[in-house]
Structure 1
């Protein structure tokens, strides 16, 4: 099983402010996979506590979260407003359930906060609120805004002479919002090489397959047409994600990067992969929850016992 202590993952021990978590922190691909499954287990627990939540959308993002927060992003959890931190904006904000345990694990706030998930007045809820929770660079609710805000943050970095990168995770359903494409056009126009858009392309939005609501493919050609460099990867292949993020151009370069992560909604849980839309929003029965936890835990235990 994953050791989620702060000391083990590069955060701080109790009472010690965490140091800067630099970009490209050493971690094995096996550990990143275990982290992704740990995120899934934490998501199941938080949704059970809240009584409702987004399983399948969060599960398609789990490897992306793990790779960004345990390897890629430059962060300072003890100083969440540190000016030189890399920014991360969650466009598909309904998957914040998978982000909250990561931020708690890294030391942004006490793990006890997670016990209040989904409750009235809690700083950790179904969508992130930048005014309530440390580590949230911008809020989410109605989708489609975060790439615009991320473009502004990247431009601000350029104008102020700072070298931080801004990462924005969007869903492919979110790309049906016209504002996203206005932001894509602006980022290309301003040559924002410090901006990285990650599309969790799982093929579904809340109402069904994205292709039925509004065609967004071919995504590589569309982003390329706006002046972006495009990288297309398997979003559940942590080695491919890690290499892609490691190979990002210098933040002073002149071309924004779009990482199209091809994923499966509900990935990691067999019944959810077979019925991804049914588990976009819902609640497992106690029996279903036991089966899901057993499936994920067995995979983690097998991986832990395999040669690295």
Structure 2
């Protein structure tokens, strides 16, 4: 099955990531935002149950960005979903803005949690999912976790508790781009077996190509029984911009006019190549 509207959503999000980063005039977390884009496009374009006109709707699904520095991959999703306006989006990193380098809880803007300290978001997501179970609420809770973030012990404490509580209303997506601030995950704290780790903690695990829209959709649709679900999304840091892909210098960097224009050109070339090859993403 093909989802051209989600492919286009992801393409637009990547363009917005470059735009917002460049116009902010500051260094931003670009690489990890580009790696999570396809997952976020599927989440906000197909999976999440929400009301863009009423972001506080009690029955809405909850999304927690545990990888808090990945906001460049979050705000364009909120924009594309119609939850925030272009006017609000354009204030990123400006004086007085509600959109800064890490998410700050603002339910009117669709931001469910404040996150900066890594490992906290998945813990909050477990609490929300457990509360929903206790109160017989129908909504589902989703959280996106960075693979470098799993260095934090609180991630595994939350994982143990979610399994123990049989939270089948909880889905964690791991952005497994295999790099973090200090280099490759396997060199920092041997992050080289993510799927096996979550299985060992009692989760239902699905491993996918994190840039294959069809595979991502199927992973979200698979419903485990009495277990939380972990989608291990194998991704590429800087995906979509050839000179950024796999280059950890773009974990956190500043787009000058020259490299912004080069990035936009590279993104357009990448999109044209996918169109010519008939690929989904």
The question of a shared fold, defined as TM-score above 0.5 by the shorter chain, is answered with yes
CA distance in 2 between counterparts of 1:274 and 1:226 reads 29
Is it true that 1:269 corresponds to 2:241 in the alignment? yes
**Correspondence list, 1:220-235, <5 A:** 220-235=195-210
CA distance in 2 between counterparts of 1:167 and 1:212 reads 29
**Partners of 2:141 and 2:170 within 8 A in 1:** yes
Of 28, 33, 45, the match for 1:70:
45
| Other structure's SS at 1:266 match | coil
| Other structure's SS at 2:166 match | coil
**Correspondence list, 1:127-146, <5 A:** 127-131=102-106, 134-146=109-121
**Partners of 1:124 and 1:133 within 8 A in 2:** no
Partner residue of 1:288?
259
Partner residue of 2:192?
217
Where does structure 1 lack aligned partners over 5 or more consecutive residues? Answer: 1-26
Of 142, 153, 164, the match for 2:128:
153
Please give the TM-score of this superposition, normalised by the length of structure 2: 0.93
Partner residue of 1:12?
none
Instruction: Decide whether aligned partners of structure 1 residues 34 and 191 sit closer, same or farther in structure 2, where only a CA change above 3 A counts.
Output: same
Of 91, 107, 110, the match for 2:85:
110
CA distance in 2 between counterparts of 1:226 and 1:205 reads 23
Is it true that 1:278 corresponds to 2:256 in the alignment? no
Aligned structure 1 segments of 4 or more residues deviating by more than 6 angstroms = 304-308
CA distance in 2 between counterparts of 1:283 and 1:185 reads 38
Instruction: Decide whether aligned partners of structure 1 residues 79 and 132 sit closer, same or farther in structure 2, where only a CA change above 3 A counts.
Output: closer
CA distance in 1 between counterparts of 2:230 and 2:158 reads 12
**Partners of 2:240 and 2:270 within 8 A in 1:** no
CA distance in 2 between counterparts of 1:241 and 1:210 reads 23
Is it true that 1:47 corresponds to 2:21 in the alignment? yes
- Report the RMSD for the aligned CA atoms in angstroms: 1.9
Where does structure 2 lack aligned partners over 5 or more consecutive residues? Answer: none
| Other structure's SS at 2:245 match | helix
* Deviation sequence 1:126-185 (CA, Å, 0-9, x none): 111113762111111111101110000000110111121111100000000000000000
**Partners of 2:171 and 2:229 within 8 A in 1:** yes
**Partners of 1:123 and 1:132 within 8 A in 2:** no
CA distance in 1 between counterparts of 2:191 and 2:246 reads 23
Partner residue of 2:5?
31
The farther-off stretch of 213-222 and 91-100 is: 213-222
Alpha-carbon offset, residue 265 of structure 1: 0.6
Partner residue of 2:71?
96
